Structure 1
Amino acid sequence: MTDSEERGHLLTEQINPDSQNLDQLTSLELVELFNREDAKTLSAIAAASSQLAQAIDCTAEALSQGGRLFYVGAGTSGRLGVLDAAECPPTFCTPSELVQGIIAGGAGALVRSSEELEDRQENGAEAIAHRHVTELDVVVGISAGGTTPFVHGAIRAARQRGATTIMLACVPFEQVSIEADLDIRLLVGPEVLAGSTRLKAGTVTKMALNIISTGVMVQLGKVYGNRMVDVAVTNKKLHDRALRILQDLTSLSRKDAGLLLERSGRKVKLALLMHWTGLDNQQGDRLLTQHQGNLRAAVQSSKNGSSNS
């Protein structure tokens, strides 16, 4: 290991003046301190709202044109990216390759500390090459301190391949320069435990990823109102949720909602379209395909067709 670069100037490494007596606090005082500090994540998200909206728009456009979304990070940042990516298939019924998380060290780093692997830019570049990233794709680099070599290597390689690049970091622009198409800074200040970016930085990162991925899926028609109408019905909990969505939106009894769900092949979105339009399974599926899976557009199209006939 070579000598490390001085990082004490970074916001994420600085000492929080409000927690310098952390080891002398009662448990209640500690909880109250964390609560005050965590409230800063809301302000950070608010300050970055316009940039987060840009991230949603450009990512949704890319995915609608056949692109993919990649999150790239190391340590906590990498785990958060993998977590958000892993939640997309069950929540929105997306193919596993549509949203992917890349973490330095691979799957083993999810459960085992592999921090030394984040120092290799070439590994980040190799991860991008391995997934055959193209100009259709979006690559989101996640680095609390903004300096992670693995992430920088990935972002640089993605840019060279023409992909849209987005960066999430928790340090000011003047402290770290990052070459990305969209550079989002989530400034939550120094951590309660100095340098432990799994705390506020991790929390605000998870909030940002929640917003981006959900916003993208809304634009892709994976949501109707605030219901996850593309939910994958893969277990009892999700089967119950699917039934309740159908009941709420159609006023059917639970029994009839269940029959409708089965006729649709356990596809909530298709079941709703069938109920509202009178189309059969195959007709509804074709209409949804014509409208890129957007239920609201498909329903409106059916109404327009009926009124014109």
Structure 2
Amino acid sequence: MTDVNDRLNTEMSNKKSERLHNFSTLEIIELMNEEDHVVPAVVKRALPQIEKVIDQAVEVVKNGGKLFYFGAGTSGRLGVLDASECPPTFGVPEDLVNGIIAGGDHALRYAIEGAEDSEEAGVADVGKHVSLNDMVIGIASSGRTPYVLGVIDAAKKLGVPTAGISCNHNAELSKVVDLPIELPVGAEVITGSTRLKAGTAQKMVLNMISSASMIKLGKVYNNLMINVQASNKKLRKRTLSIIQEITGVSEAEALRYSEQAQGDARVAILMVLLNADAEKAKEFLEEKSGNFAEVMNDLEKK
């Protein structure tokens, strides 16, 4: 009987990399680079699917919910990575976008034997973390990881919106989620090593989901990270640059306003534009639920 792995593109052998062990270093990386060129085209074909997931995510957050990525192995690590970058980039609470990996945080650095094989663990993790207002996005290259399928089963019973990101056609995951995203990138250079093309495709899509959602939620103005958290020297410098770019003040003035705004670029900018103190600027933001883009749109109409 043919093993199910033989029917998954992510587990098939890549004819181009036969005798890979005899390739020169340059030949190896040339082939990897050639294969990587497949990924953007695959992601482009999935844009209509990705759009639906983003629009649902925005609606969930607007209604007070949170986003959860669930995955195992590389897929889980990519979800955790994307979630962890949202607070410093977009100034959102640490628990707004969450990455949960099968086996827990220890699995970020070490392989946890059998973690991905337990549907029960997926069900339990949903019970620990997800509430009725939230959204669950399962990530599985194969589209059939038991842990992720368990997550989706529990999420659907809870009644929350679900999405799935897989790298095979007609994936099992796609059949059980509300909003499927399929990224069939084909056989890997190293057979079954889905941290390569499949992982790259997943990372690109996660970038889109989090970034576009935050843009739609007003966490970006023009193309600037207006909600950036000035938590280190580089980001403090970026905050000053953003204040200067939007208001035209000098660096010294930008620093003064930033200090008065406690590092919040949005507040500092509104202080300048409205000739107001920090408290008044914060009130303007609160009226728009912190959506700086909406505040600026209103100011531009006046």
**Same fold, TM-score > 0.5, yes or no:** yes
Q: Indicate the residue corresponding to 2:86 in structure 1.
A: 88
Is residue 127 from structure 1 mapped to residue 132 from structure 2 by the alignment?
A: no
Deviation, 1:28, is 1.0
Q: Which amino acid aligns with 1:289?
A: E
Counterparts of 1:180 and 1:68 in 2: how far apart (Å)? 17
Q: Indicate the residue corresponding to 1:259 in structure 2.
A: 256
- How many residues align? The count is 301
Shift in alpha-carbon separation, 1:174–1:104, aligned structure 2, 3 A: closer
Q: Please point out which of 202, 206, 217 is paired with 1:205.
A: 202
Q: Please point out which of 202, 206, 222 is paired with 1:225.
A: 222
Counterparts of 1:256 and 1:44 in 2: how far apart (Å)? 47
Counterparts of 1:300 and 1:81 in 2: how far apart (Å)? 33
RMSD in angstroms over aligned alpha carbons? 1.6
Q: Indicate the residue corresponding to 1:243 in structure 2.
A: 240
Counterparts of 1:129 and 1:69 in 2: how far apart (Å)? 14
Instruction: Tell me the TM-score normalized by structure 1.
Output: 0.94
Q: Which amino acid aligns with 1:149?
A: P
Whether contact under 8 Å (1:74, 1:115) holds in the other structure is no
After superposition, give the CA deviation of every residue in 1:234-277 in whole Å (9 maximum; x if it has no partner).
11111111111112222222111101111112101111122222
Q: Indicate the residue corresponding to 2:265 in structure 1.
A: 268
Is residue 24 from structure 1 mapped to residue 22 from structure 2 by the alignment?
A: yes
Q: Indicate the residue corresponding to 1:169 in structure 2.
A: 166
Q: Which amino acid aligns with 1:200?
A: K
Q: Which amino acid aligns with 1:23?
A: H
Counterparts of 2:36 and 2:300 in 1: how far apart (Å)? 48
Counterparts of 1:15 and 1:255 in 2: how far apart (Å)? 60
Q: Which amino acid aligns with 1:279?
A: A
Task: Indicate the SS of the match to 2:276.
Answer: coil
Q: Which amino acid aligns with 2:277?
A: D
Deviation, 1:288, is 0.9
Whether contact under 8 Å (2:54, 2:213) holds in the other structure is yes
Q: Which amino acid aligns with 1:47?
A: R
Shift in alpha-carbon separation, 1:9–1:139, aligned structure 2, 3 A: same
Q: Indicate the residue corresponding to 1:38 in structure 2.
A: 36
Deviation, 1:158, is 0.6
Gaps of 5+ in 1: none
Question: Identity, % of aligned pairs?
Answer: 42
Instruction: Tell me the TM-score normalized by structure 2.
Output: 0.96
Task: Indicate the SS of the match to 2:290.
Answer: coil
Whether contact under 8 Å (2:166, 2:173) holds in the other structure is no
Q: Which amino acid aligns with 1:143?
A: A
Counterparts of 2:31 and 2:238 in 1: how far apart (Å)? 37
Gaps of 5+ in 2: none
Q: Which amino acid aligns with 1:101?
A: G
Q: Indicate the residue corresponding to 2:231 in structure 1.
A: 234
After superposition, give the CA deviation of every residue in 1:17-36 in whole Å (9 maximum; x if it has no partner).
11112112111111111111
- Tell which deviates more after alignment, 280-289 or 96-105: 280-289
Task: Indicate the SS of the match to 1:70.
Answer: strand
Whether contact under 8 Å (2:67, 2:136) holds in the other structure is yes
Whether contact under 8 Å (1:75, 1:115) holds in the other structure is no
Q: Indicate the residue corresponding to 2:74 in structure 1.
A: 76
